[in-house]
Amino acid sequence: MKLAIIGAGGLGRVVAEMARRIEGVTVVGFIDDAAPAGSAVLGLEVLGPSSQLAELRSRGTIEAVAVAIGNPACRQRLAEQARAAGCELPALADPSAVVSPSAQRGPGSLVGPLAVVAAGASLGALAIVAAGAVIEHDAVVEPASYVGPRALVDARGRIGRGLALAGGTTIGQDGVVET
């Protein structure tokens, strides 16, 4: 799969390095509205702004994208733009992550290095689970939410749509974080 990373900032660099370690994925470059086209980040070319997604897809340069933007509303907008351009939004997990076969991962969800997504857990579309975070059994991370490094969402916990859980934070069993 020819994958482009939308966002060439810090999160984008983390996702690019993660994706490079996934068998069957070829990271072809970055899509970024602020970085100059043709420049390089981590040795990968900035292919252009998001307005060129459809053209890059039609030329066969890209097949899929990972949206590595921290702002949830922006992440959702760019994902819709990518879908409209015909790009896939694969659920990606670092090879060092432990993801239960019974866990559900929505399109465009990202699971970072050394993270754990346990039995029956659910990650919504575009949810991000950062390095070392733990999503325990039957917990839910709703669409476009972010669980920071080393954070814990304990059994049956829930993180509401588009919310961010800071690194190192713990949500106890049956705990709910909304708005």
Give the helix/strand (H/E) hosting 83: helix 72-84
CA distance 94 to 116: 10
3-class DSSP state of 126: coil
Residues 6+ apart with CB under 8 A from 150: 131, 132, 133, 167, 168
Is the alpha carbon torsion for 103, 177, 18, 25 positive or negative? Answer: positive
3-class DSSP state of 120: coil
Nearest partner of 96 among 115, 122, 78, judged by Cα: 115
Q: What is the pLDDT of residues 15-37, one digit of tens each?
A: 999 999 999 999 999 999 999 99
CA distances in angstroms from 1 to 26, 27, 57, 92, listed in the order given: 6, 8, 12, 12
Mean pLDDT of the region 148-170: 97
pLDDT of the residue at 67: 98
Encoded tokens for 150: 């080393």
Mean pLDDT of the region 154-160: 98
pLDDT of the residue at 45: 98
The H helix count followed by the E strand count for the chain is 3, 20
Q: What band does 65 get if pLDDT is binned at 50, 70 and 90?
A: very high
Nearest partner of 167 among 6, 11, 7, judged by Cα: 11
pLDDT of the residue at 150: 98
Q: What band does 179 get if pLDDT is binned at 50, 70 and 90?
A: confident
Extended strands (E) in 80-168 = 92-93, 98-99, 104-105, 110-111, 116-117, 122-123, 128-129, 134-135, 140-141, 146-147, 152-153, 158-159, 164-165
